[in-house]
Chains A and B, each alone.
Chain A
């Protein structure tokens, strides 16, 4: 089987506009969840968000996209992280044009981040807005494909909160089956009235910054951002610096409920077991887990149960959503990158705001910064619709 190497990363979220800024935030315990400065909503006052600290116009300016009137915030965030990833991996403009270069992205809200414009356009209330052709979930993928003239396969996934973890999975399969030599994989989502009202109607939004794995957690905090990784085959990566190898991935469905996970964690356990099986390693060789850890009552108890079921001794774990908020479709790839920062630097970052760990199971997320030799790390993503995906990254030997 073809090996899959990670050769580049790019990220933007509330804690940074580059991978280096993310590393710095993790090391200093900087949390990006606070009162929104730019998001307009009646919930902007009551709730806190992991908002990227720039307005749409500022983001366009920073990324030289001011002339792109049809680009939504989701697309601009995606371009920002995409550019960093290909630059980091040294993928030239010419190489992007190759039909052996693929692009798999993901989004949940996609171009629907402009809820008011969408309302107007969908109900034919006024002259069409700038975004009349930008609402589809795949809009950002197509615009990036065009802008960077990507020559190979392109795809957009939506498996809710596990979307970009599945983009990584699919990208790896393209390489393994010989359909691509290099694939840029990830996802993007921006904070939108649509999503905020959706999660609010489910009563799973916390009014304070989320407290994953805390006994008194009260829900999740929504975030936004984009994150892309460059996956390459051994031949394509050649003598480049390889950040890590993607050694395992598993996908399953919890088949329990449209918007919550089962008590006995069927889906989460299956996806982790499949990833372990593929990586051909025993659970005790996992040195760190980046948990899905949303901070909802349901997710964190299920995930804790799953970890205690699979691992004889649960390895150090945290939820980096305590830094970034839940970035939805971007979460899988963003957290893959944050896991890779741990792996690369042999560092464990504390899970923020877990004051009293969940009582019913053996559970204590990482509470302080620490150094530890890491070889294999796991990243979990579970979504609405029962979609569960686990990834394992290993140091290159």
Chain B
């Protein structure tokens, strides 16, 4: 991924390594250098994405973050010190920075935000759970209420090696414009931070989250039944969806699941992928929501990196992602013009 403005104007670099590393900004205008030196990558990327967004908005009522693993590089550094120095005298920086809630805590600290503060670490559903938490926080609030909602994941040797051992990554490198087509075992590791402001106030909203659902350990028929029920619960039909944003990651072992879900929809359903931009990581669906928000606003449809079949600006999008066929998530997002429900969540991107 690149930083937002560069990405939106089409500045887009092709990755060819066996992991898609984030292109980070200098952070010099966002983070004091004394703090920056001590920050791990996850915390740094998260703050770099969140603080400018928080600055542009009125005081927020809290911070909700999803991250499967938090600051892994610090985690492995601390772990290595424990073993290499036989539990000798260690410095606490790595330990404090490695806790997954370090980002939400640091954001609260830097923005002096004493409001609601939760970090979800539920693996490949960590962002979806954070989104659900934010929706529940906003529901029932009578006055205007807004939260920072985001996700972060970093590549470290630690998770790279662990996931490699688990057979989750390809043995050879592929470029990101070939990732989806590659169809070999495993995917390519990615990383990134994505931040939103979500609110119960529709003014200036960029999109509306209609609802989301998680489905765990389903059979194919259960997946279809639960997906249909999800639409019924929201008084929608599959025909209301005019674009699918799909989490295909080039892994031949599981990509057929996206075809299964696509087959539930009319044969001419339009679709785009998103992991070709950022690679695969546990909270990449936050990037899918970022892409979705732009597509609903007529942006990025003609971006050089877009893969799939999209011919018109969509009004209602379904984001579908799954992890090894075990955890599945569905998020329905509508354009603001199209809104017809009373539950409104604004999302602003950086």
Residue positions of A touching B, CB distance < 8 A: 41-43, 99, 108, 110, 112, 115-116, 118-119, 121-124, 128, 132-133, 135-139, 141-142, 145-146, 149-150, 153-160, 166, 170, 173-174, 176-177, 179, 193-194, 196-198, 200-202, 251-259, 266-267, 270, 383-387
Question: Given the complex, which residues of B lie within 8 Å of A256, measured CB to CB?
Answer: 109
With contacts A197-B82, A384-B101 known, what are 16 further pairs, Cβ within 8 A? A42-B86, A119-B80, A119-B83, A136-B69, A159-B117, A173-B133, A197-B87, A198-B92, A251-B116, A252-B117, A253-B108, A253-B114, A253-B116, A254-B108, A385-B99, A387-B118
19 A-B pairs, CB-CB below 8 angstroms?
Answer: A121-B165, A137-B68, A138-B121, A139-B123, A142-B216, A150-B216, A154-B216, A155-B122, A156-B122, A176-B136, A201-B95, A251-B117, A252-B115, A254-B114, A255-B111, A258-B105, A384-B101, A385-B105, A387-B117
A252 and B83 form a contact (CB under 8 A): no
Tell me whether B105 and A251 are in contact (CB under 8 A): no
Interface centre among B69, B112, B119, B129, by most chain A C-beta atoms within 10 angstroms, is B119
**Which of B112, B121, B125, B126 counts the most A-chain CB atoms under 10 A from its CB?**
B121
Contact call B79/A174, Cβ cutoff below 8 A: no
Known: A159-B118, A174-B136, A201-B92. Is A255-B68 also a contact (CB below 8 A)?
A: no
B79 to chain A, nearest CB (A): 6
**Cα(A42)–Cα(B111), bound, Å:** 40
Q: Is B12 an interface residue (CB 8 A)?
A: no
Q: Do B123 and A385 touch (CB < 8 A)?
A: no
The interface stretch among B17-25, B154-162, B245-253 is: B154-162
* Beta-carbon contact of B101 and A387 below 8 Å: yes
Chain B contacts for A202, CB-based, 8 A:
92, 95-96
CB of B184 closer than 8 Å to a CB of A: no
Q: Are A159 and B139 CB-contacts (below 8 A) given A124-B165, A154-B214, A255-B112?
A: no
Verify A252–B157 contact, CB threshold 8 A.
no
Number of interface residues of B (CB under 8 A): 65
Query: Which A residues are in CB contact (< 8 Å) with B140?
Result: 176-177
Say yes or no: A384 contacts B105, CB within 8 Å: yes
Bound Cα distance from A317 to B184, whole angstroms? 60
Q: A197-B90, A384-B101 given as contacts; is B96 within 8 A of A259 (CB)?
A: yes
Kindly state the separation between the CA atoms of A267 and B70 in the bound complex, as whole angstroms: 23
Q: How far is the CA of A212 from the CA of B104 in the complex (A)?
A: 28
Closest chain-A Cβ to B145's Cβ sits at a distance in Å of 14
B166 contacts the other chain (Cβ, under 8 Å)?
Answer: yes
Chain B neighbourhood of A43, CB < 8 A: 87
Interface presence of B339 (CB below 8 A): no
Task: Specify which of B100, B123, B162 is in contact with A121 (CB 8 Å cutoff).
Answer: B162
**How far does the Cβ of B229 sit from chain A's closest Cβ, in whole Å?**
8
Lowest 5 CB-CB distances: which A-B pairs, in order?
Answer: A385-B105, A198-B95, A253-B117, A253-B108, A201-B92
Are the CB atoms of A122 and B158 closer together than 8 Å? yes
Closest-by-CB residue of B relative to A385 is B105
Instruction: Give the residues in chain B near A149, CB-CB below 8 Å.
Output: 217
B150 to chain A, nearest CB (A): 15
- Tell me if B113 counts as interface (CB < 8 A to partner A): yes
Which residues on A sit within 8 Å (CB–CB) of B82?
Answer: 115, 119, 193-194, 197
A118 to B108, CA, bound (A): 31
- B residues less than 8 Å from A139 (CB atoms): 123
In the complex, which residues of chain A have a beta carbon less than 8 angstroms from the beta carbon of B69?
136-137
Roughly how many angstroms separate A256 CA and B216 CA in the complex, as a whole number? 38
Q: Which residues of A contact B109 (CB under 8 A)?
A: 255-258, 386
Select the residue from B102, B164, B165 with max chain A CB neighbours within 10 A: B165
- Minimum CB–CB distance for A39 against chain B, Å: 12
Chain B neighbourhood of A121, CB < 8 A: 161-162, 165
Nearest to B111 among chain A residues (CB) is A255
When distances are taken between beta carbons in the complex, the residues of chain A under 8 Å from B139 are 177
Alpha-carbon distance between A41 and B88 when the two chains are bound, in angstroms: 11
In the complex, residue of chain B having the shortest beta-carbon distance to the beta carbon of A107 = B121
Cα distance A103–B146 in the bound complex, in angstroms: 26
B53 CB within 8 Å of chain A: no
- The reply to whether A123 and B78 contact each other, CB–CB distance below 8 Å, is no
Q: Please, how many angstroms separate the alpha-carbon atoms of A245 and B130 in the complex?
A: 26
- Alpha-carbon separation in the docked complex, A262 to B275 (Å): 42
Interface residues of B in 295-328 (CB under 8 A from A): 326-327
Residues A153 and B132 in contact in the complex (CB < 8 Å), given A158-B101, A387-B105: yes
Residues of A within 8 A of B100 (CB): 137, 158
Given A174-B136, A253-B108, A270-B114, the answer on whether A118 and B214 have CB atoms closer than 8 Å is no
- A267 nearest CB neighbor, chain B only: B114
Smallest CB separation, B251 vs chain A (Å):
16
Q: How far is the CA of A154 from the CA of B115 in the complex (A)?
A: 24
CB pair A157 B118 closer than 8 Å: yes
The smallest C-beta distance from B292 to any residue of chain A, in angstroms, reads 22
Contact A201/B165 with A145-B216, A194-B78, A257-B109 known, Cβ cut-off 8 Å? no
Chain A residues near B113: list those with CB within 8 A: 253, 255
CB distance from A233 to the nearest CB of B (A): 15
**How many angstroms from the CA of A170 to the CA of B162 in the assembled complex?**
30
